[in-house]
Structure 1
Amino acid sequence: MTATAPETRSVVVERDIPHPPEKLWRALTQPHLIEEWLMKNDFVPSIGHRFKLRGEWGGVLDCEVLTIEPNKALSYTWNFDHDDAAYSLKSVVTFTLTPSNAGTLLRVEQVGFRPEQKQAFGGAKAGWQQFLGKLEQVLARPE
């Protein structure tokens, strides 16, 4: 008998952003810009780099860069340890950039939510909408 991995859910958000992939890539990979739309961080765009995202709510996410394809794809772990296992989260966030007629189609996918993590799943669905709204504001500023 083989053991099967527990079923997990994912959050997917897609937005057509009226900017070229290169501009979007900068906002996804430069720490001072990441802080403006996501969280305080010590991100370095290098595979294997471990970094922290520090939320305004006081939480700290442990992350590690998994994939870097400039102007195309970025992924990293998004792990939150909590005393209560129901609130601990081990997930991966992937940003995929595809050139579009409007500029860039940005696809954000966060995978790894266990079925009982309804609150975390709902929080991620709402949170990514807010984060991407802030990202669009950062991108809309004149350079």
Structure 2
Amino acid sequence: MQKVPSEMSAGIKVAPDTVRIERHLPGPVERLWAYLTESEKRRQWLAAGEMELFAGGRVELRFRHHELSHEQMPDRYRDAASGEPMYGEIIACDPPRLLTFSWPGDNGRSEVTFELTPEGEDVCLVVTHRRLPDMEGMISVASGWEAHLGILEDRLSGRQPRGFWSTHKQLKEEYAKQFAAG
């Protein structure tokens, strides 16, 4: 299994129900914004689906993890392989700097915010996921975001995407230790 660099598990628990992850990615900011908001670009690292980019607009996410990397999907996740749409709602949108929406995966109980700040040729991307139900949810969300963001970084850098499932598994172990200690 590929070793995940320790700096990849850089997410932190900033509140009892909130995880924050910061990544520096190849820019420019408009390119990264397109990978967050355009279905065909977003499907390469997270999930396809249309977004209505205004407060109150609909977010559609169709997860197809089997398309993200060369690895086979573990059996325990096969029930989520259908790519059935999940829907959320845009809470805030300020292109190309800020996007917040209710998270479709938990019927909108939590919300995710993407903040983009240009830094020379790169972009600082901060992902904050709030209103998570418990420690298990925080571990799952942090490791999921890190695995997805790693694939986004690979795509933006023109590299072969790393293995999603092996990365996710290792990150879950790292976050379980990190959050238990913190």
TM range (shorter): 0.7 to 0.9
Number of residues of Structure 1 aligned to a counterpart in Structure 2: 128
Q: Is the 8 A contact 1:50 1:62 kept in 2?
A: yes
> What percentage of residue pairs aligned between the two structures are identical?
29
Q: In the alignment, which residue of structure 1 is the partner of 2:102?
A: 77
State the Cα distance separating 1:89 from its structure 2 match: 6.5
CA distance in 2 between counterparts of 1:29 and 1:130 reads 19
Question: Using a 3 Å threshold, how does the CA distance of structure 1 residues 89 and 22 change in structure 2: closer, same or farther?
Answer: closer
Structure 2 residue 10 is the aligned partner of structure 1 residue 41: no
Higher relative contact order (CA 8 A, sep 6+): 1
Higher helix share: 2
Query: Structure 2 length normalisation: TM-score?
Result: 0.62
Runs of at least 5 residues in structure 2 that lack an aligned partner in the other structure: 1-14, 65-76, 160-182
Higher strand share: 1
Matches within 5 A, 1:1-143: 8-56=16-64, 57=77, 58=80, 61-81=86-106, 90-101=109-120, 103-114=122-133, 117-141=134-158
CA distance in 2 between counterparts of 1:14 and 1:103 reads 13
Query: Structure 1 length normalisation: TM-score?
Result: 0.77
Q: Is the 8 A contact 2:18 2:128 kept in 1?
A: yes
